[in-house]
Amino acid sequence: MNREALFFDIDGTVLSEITKEIPASTVDALKRAHDAGHFLFINTGRTYCSVPVELKKLPFDGYLCGCGIYFTFDEEIIFEKHLDPKRGDEIADYMTKCQIDGIFEGAEDVYFTSRVSRFDRLENTKKYMNNRGLGIERYMEQRRCPYDKIFIYTDEKSDVKAFFEFIKDDMEVIDRGSNTFECILKGYTKGTAIDWVLEHFGMTRDQSYVFGDSSNDLAMFRHAGHAIAMGAHDQVLEPYTEFVTKTVEEDGIAYAMKKYGLID
C-alpha cells in the first residue's frame, strides 16, 4: 500500500456537531490508516489550544491549526506565524467601534472581552470554552493578548464593511454564514498548509486526501488531489468535491477511507 497524506477538518468531519462525539468507526479507521503507514493530519480553523483533548489522543502525526498558521509534526512545532500584538489591539478596538463581537484565538489560549455580549451564540461558545479551561485567565481589555485569528459575530448594528476595510492588509475573511465570519492571517489557508506538508515530505498532490464539510475547507479542497465532502456539507465545496461520503454519524470517514483503499 502506498503512503498517502490524509487531512481532516474537525467539526462536522471527525467530531459530530450533533452528538459532540467522535464515532467509534472513525477512531478505528484512523488507527488502521496509521498502522498502514499513512500520514494523518488535523487541518483545522481552530487554533492549537482549542483542539479537543480527545482528538490529541488519536494517532495524528501532526496538527495544522489556525487555517495554516501553526504546524506541528511528531509533537514538534515546525512552523508558526503570529499577528503583531500592537496591531491586534488596534483591530480589537476597531471591532468595538464597529459594534462587532467575537472570539480572539491564539495558539495557547482564546480571549474574550469582559463585557456580556449581545450575541447569544457567542455567550454559549464562551461557556463551552470556559468549561474546557480556555478564555478565563485574561480579557482583551488587558491588552496585548497574543491572538492570531478572530471568529466574529455581526448583526444589523454592525459596520461590517468598515471593519473589513480596516483589516484588509492583515487578514482575509471567510463567510461562515448566519452573519458570522472567520478572519485569518493574510496569505495563509488550510490549502497553504497542505502545500507545505507535501513539499516537506516530497509527496505529490495526488497523494493528498482531504475530508471536510464547511466553507473554511474550500482552500483545502482546491489544493488536494482527492477532496471528500461529508454527507452534510456547505455547497460551496461542490465544484471541488471528488466524492461525497456519508455523514459523520453514519460512519462517513470510515466509509470513504474504505472506498479509496486507504484501509482494508
Q: What are the pLDDT digits (tens) for 179-216? A: 999 999 999 999 988 998 899 889 999 999 999 999 99
Asked if 210 and 224 count as a contact pair (C-beta separation under 8 A), the reply is yes
Which pLDDT score, from 0 to 100, does residue 69 have?
95
C-alpha cell at 181: 465570519
**Distance between CA atoms of residues 163 and 247, nearest Å:** 36
Which pLDDT score, from 0 to 100, does residue 156 have?
97
Question: Is pLDDT above 60 for 1?
Answer: no
Which pLDDT score, from 0 to 100, does residue 27 have?
98
Confidence of residue 217 (pLDDT cuts 50, 70, 90): very high
**C-alpha distance from residue 110 to each of 115, 210, 261 (Å):** 15, 27, 39
Give the predicted TM-score (pTM) of the model: 0.90
The pLDDT tens digits of the residues spanning 28-47 come to 999 999 999 999 999 999 99
Alpha-carbon dihedral 228, 53, 58, 41, rounded to 10 degrees: 40
| CB atoms inside a 10 Å sphere around CB 78 | 14
